[in-house]
Amino acid sequence: MVRFFRGLVAGVTYPFRAAGVLSRTPRLRGYVLIPILVNFVVSITLYLGLLIAGFHGIDTIIANLVLPSGVALSVYWLLRLLLGLVLFMVTGFLLVQFGVLLGAPWYGMLSEQLERVRTGESPPAVDGGIFTDTVRSLTYELKKLLIFVSVGLVLFVLGFVPPVGPVLASVGGIALSATLLCLDFFDPPLERRRLSFRTKLAMVGYSLPASATFGLVCLLLVSIPIINLLTIPLCVTAGTLFCCDRILPSLKSGLSLSDRS
């Protein structure tokens, strides 16, 4: 039980540890400047497009709920607040997807240098050329998209089931987003080892409960407009630190290495 609670707390601390590492290692900061500019352009597009449509959709969902008159007003504002928070989280989540993909070359170099600093060892050389890397990247994104769409559709339908459906859908959406964010932020060091998608997903489960709180705090950080321009590179740094401390040692000991691809 003590180990469980230590894991819960440890997951929350990694973004703060990452900020400390970046502040103490000036040569790593150059790898985040271009991704910040990329995030700025992507964020403007997403927030202008999604928030307007999203708030309209929230009003539509709430208007279709049939509630007793005595509780209608309080439930209305509670659901509006909850669904509004989920909307900001989804928008931040999508910003991560585009931002990490477009900033992948710089994040990859940041993660590689950080792993060298953290472990004192050179990261493994990546086998394959541009074609292999492109195919693996596209396949990885498609598998993430499949999980997002399949689970997301179930949660979307659940959101129309009164009275608890919207709450359950919101909680499920947060859990789904946190899991996919772990995959995004853990990916650079895991991809250098050419692990399969199944193994990467298993590593998120293997490192519970720390990965759960890590994903949740990262979801919170990337959901704050403007601030998330800086927190996405911070979370990429935190993900590499997390892997160096909690995942790579298990891989060195032989856990799930048979699942490499």
Domain with 237 in it: 2-259
Return all residues near 152 (Cβ < 8 A) that are at least 6 apart: 173, 176
Whether residue 258 is predicted with pLDDT greater than 50 in this model: the reply is no
- H-run or E-run covering 37: helix 26-63
Burial (Cβ within 10 Å: 0-12, 13-18, ≥19) of residue 231: buried
The pLDDT of residue 216: 93
Using the predicted structure, report yes or no on whether residue 261 has a pLDDT greater than 80. no
In percent, the amount of the chain with pLDDT more than 70 equals 84
Residue 181 to residue 198: CA distance in whole angstroms: 15
Confidence band of 256 (pLDDT split at 50, 70, 90): very low
What 3-state class would DSSP assign to 207? coil
**With 50 as the cut, is the pLDDT of residue 1 above it?**
yes
pLDDT value, residue 74: 65
Work out the mean pLDDT of the chain and round it to a whole number: 80
Choose among 116, 250, 243, 125: nearest CA to 185: 243
Between 248 and 13, residue with greater pLDDT: 13
The confidence score (pLDDT) of residue 225 equals 76
Predicted pLDDT at 106? 84
d(CA 92, CA 108): 21
Kindly report, residue by residue over 70-109, the tens digit of the pLDDT.
555 566 677 677 767 777 777 777 777 777 777 778 888 8
Considering only CA atoms, which of 11, 15, 45 is closest in space to residue 233?
15
- 16-20, 152-156, 180-184: least confident range: 152-156
CB 139 within 8 A of CB 194: no
Helix (H, G, I), strand (E, B) or coil at 120: coil
The span from the first CA to the last CA of the chain, in angstroms, equals 35
Q: Do the Cβ atoms of 189 and 126 come closer than 8 Å?
A: no
Residue 135 pLDDT exceeds 90: no
The CA angle 33-192-220, to the nearest 5 degrees, is 50
Quote the number of domains for the chain.
1
Assign residue 254 a region: left if phi > 0, alpha if psi is -120 to 50, beta otherwise? left
The residue length of the chain stands at 261
What pLDDT score does 67 carry?
A: 58
Structure confidence at residue 134 (pLDDT): 75
CB atoms inside a 10 Å sphere around CB 228: 22
- At residue 183, the pLDDT reads 93
* Residue 195 DSSP label: B
Q: Supply the pLDDT for residue 179.
A: 93
**231 or 256: which carries more pLDDT confidence?**
231
> What is the DSSP-derived secondary structure letter of residue 66?
-
Q: Percentage of residues in the chain with pLDDT exceeding 90?
A: 18
pLDDT value for 224: 80
What per-residue confidence (pLDDT) applies to 122?
76
